[in-house]
Copies of this chain bind each other. A is one copy, B any other.
């Protein structure tokens, strides 16, 4: 059965479309018996109010946007779950946009929001994003924005992040305590604020423990697995192979395990490894992997809760909200 319109109801009851519309909105201008008749006819004819008409009337889209670099990472998958849980509670719909780490795409996506498609935005910026104009422009139009996980440092917006500096400091100190003296840090970017903080935490822990940092010990991976494997292999064929590795993002972990395995380098005897990941499989790797686990689900929930504060209270200033949820170190065989 096709969907009916207000006109169909009006025709059936021989009243005006305006009367039907008012009755459905429970207007005081319409009598109770007429409202009853209209509602019955609506049910009978299979009428559903158009959500976009209601959006236009109320100036609310009942929709939030989540802008992510990717979804094939356990952190973002879990964060979506947390966001969706809160949106459902609030009766909101969730639009998902992937930037695939492209700043150009991120700018395009945010531009579309200026027209009222969404009531608020949760964003984790792309690896390339080095300018905040598209974010501040959107905020100036009155659209609340909350950063989560990956933020831009110079933007005065709400942020839900984890303690990247701290957790990387803890990871590095853990390796030092286990006897490592030549710890390498493998990452995907030096532009991402999150990656910078992890690098700083690593460097600080080295210095605090009397170890000297060096440029060669910081390895930046790109998007091609082959190239990255070659880079990691080179570390172990050099004069001073690492005795400790921090895989600062999830996708580096398989590379480290594959290369060491192929080269016959034993974890944790020859090299100890810590990875930043929320993957359940960390515990069934052999050796099982010591991990820094981010509170992904909780970060999604917290960021969404904060965003709804900004959406619901027009005068609420989100910009000073900055929540840091701690990550935790889970010790397993790879650092024993």
Chain A residues with a Cβ under 8 A of chain B: 1-3, 46, 48-53, 55-56, 61, 63, 70-72, 74, 77-78, 80-81, 84, 93-98, 112, 114-117, 140-142, 251, 253-254, 257-258, 261, 279-281, 283-287
Contacts and interface: CB of A to CB of B under 8 A. Distances in A.
A56 B52 contact: yes
A71 B61 contact: no
Contacts of A283: 254, 258
Q: Which 7 A-B pairs have the closest CB atoms?
A: A286-B286, A48-B115, A52-B52, A257-B284, A281-B281, A72-B77, A96-B96
Question: How many copies of this chain does one complex carry?
Answer: 2
A70 B280 CA distance: 15
Contacts of A117: 51-52, 93
Contacts of A285: 281, 284-286
Contacts of A253: 281, 284
A254 B80 contact: no
Nearest to A116: B50
B49 A115 contact: yes
Nearest to A258: B284
A79 to B, nearest CB: 10
B284 A261 contact: yes
Given A74-B72, A81-B71, A95-B94, A115 B50 contact: yes
Nearest to A73: B77
Contacts of A284: 253-254, 257-258, 261, 285
Given A52-B61, A142-B2, A283-B254, A80 B71 contact: yes
13 contacts: A1-B141, A3-B141, A48-B114, A48-B115, A52-B117, A56-B56, A71-B80, A71-B81, A84-B96, A94-B95, A94-B96, A254-B284, A258-B284
A77 B56 CA distance: 33
A170 to B, nearest CB: 24
Nearest to A114: B48
B254 A3 contact: no
Contacts of A52: 52-53, 55-56, 61, 116-117
A50 B115 CA distance: 5
B80 A96 contact: yes
Contacts of A140: 1-2
Nearest to A142: B2
A81 B98 contact: yes
Contacts of A97: 84, 93-94
A286 B279 CA distance: 16
A287 B257 CA distance: 12
Contact of A95 (B48, B95, B112, B281): B95
Contact of A72 (B48, B56, B78, B261): B78
Contacts of A93: 95, 97, 117
Contact of A98 (B46, B51, B55, B84): B84
Given A3-B116, A261-B284, 19 more contacts: A1-B141, A52-B53, A52-B61, A71-B81, A72-B74, A72-B77, A72-B78, A77-B77, A80-B96, A81-B98, A84-B96, A84-B97, A84-B98, A94-B97, A254-B283, A254-B284, A285-B285, A285-B286, A286-B286
